[in-house]
Amino acid sequence: MTARYTLYGLFASAPSYKVGLMLTLCDEAFDYVHVNLREGAHKKPDYLKINRFGQVPALVDNSNGKTLCQSGAILEYLADKTGKFGGASLDDRLRAREWLFWGWDKFDAPVYRLRSWKLGFRSFEPAVVELYQAERKAAFDTLEAYFVSGHDFLAGDHATIADIDLYGVAAVAHQGDYDVSAHPHVVAWMKRIEALPHFKPQATLLPQESRTA
Ligand SMILES: N[C@@H](CCC(=O)N[C@@H](CS)C(=O)NCC(=O)O)C(=O)O
């Protein structure tokens, strides 16, 4: 039987992990389609009908045929549909959105790009590497300062999609040679996410091949 959701992704992709993590934390079984980026599957016409940007992840809600892309937008949709991790109040929802936009602005790019560089998928001039390194440290400093000021989660007293989204980035930073332990309050926050029921780590959550739920 087809599961309610089908996730299109790549096991090594951090944005794909964010969506897989949200589904997993919501205890939602999902079908999974492995999109082979090396073979250009993400630029084929059939896939572009699901994600017009030609990227992973994408999500199909099989209950209504909706196709969604952009991991943050998918998290918002899933929060709406499951009633989980959306924030307990309007203030929490607003704070969560602020962190999501901040992440896309300041956090995701330097972490992802230095990871791709370290893994040999992209090359940058030394000055560009230095710039991303400075931006990555500044973003971790921002998170550290926020948690030092006494917060357990990014929006309100409980985990929201902002935590799931930014955790998905922080969890791969070490693969770009970043020492997250330099930010002990960020590490403590990551451990709080890892303690949530049903949590699975990035290394094992998404399979390397397509599968049904
Ligand atoms: N902002 C997007 C980023 C997605 C993204 O960069 N996906 C990468 C894989 S990790 C991809 O599909 N790259 C191929 C491309 O952009 O052509 C999201 O969060 O969904």
Q: What is the mean pLDDT of each run of 10 residues along the chain (213 residues)?
A: 95 97 97 96 96 98 97 98 97 98 97 96 96 98 97 97 98 97 98 98 96 94
What would you report as the CA-atom Rg of the chain, rounded to the nearest whole angstrom? Answer: 17
CA 57 to ligand 1: nearest atom = 20
- Measuring from atom 12 of ligand 1, which residue has the nearest CA? 55
Query: Which pair of structure tokens corresponds to residue 134?
Result: 């400075």
CA-wise closest residue to 46 among 58, 31, 64: 58
Ligand 1 geometric centre to CA of 139 (Å): 20
CA 55 to ligand 1: nearest atom = 12
Per residue in 143-190, pLDDT (tens digit) is: 999 999 999 999 999 999 999 999 999 999 999 999 999 999 999 999
All domains of the chain in start order, with CATH: 5-85 (3.40.30.10), 90-194 (1.20.1050.10)
Residue 187 CA to chain centroid, in angstroms? 17
Q: What is the DSSP string of 55-116?
A: -S-EEEETTTTEEEESHHHHHHHHHHHH--SS-SSHHHHHHHHHHHHHIIIIIHHHHHHHHH
Q: State how far the Cα of 52 lies from the Cα of 184, in Å rounded to an integer.
A: 39
Ligand 1 geometric centre to CA of 57 (Å): 7
CA 18 to ligand 1: nearest atom = 19
Residues in the chain: 213
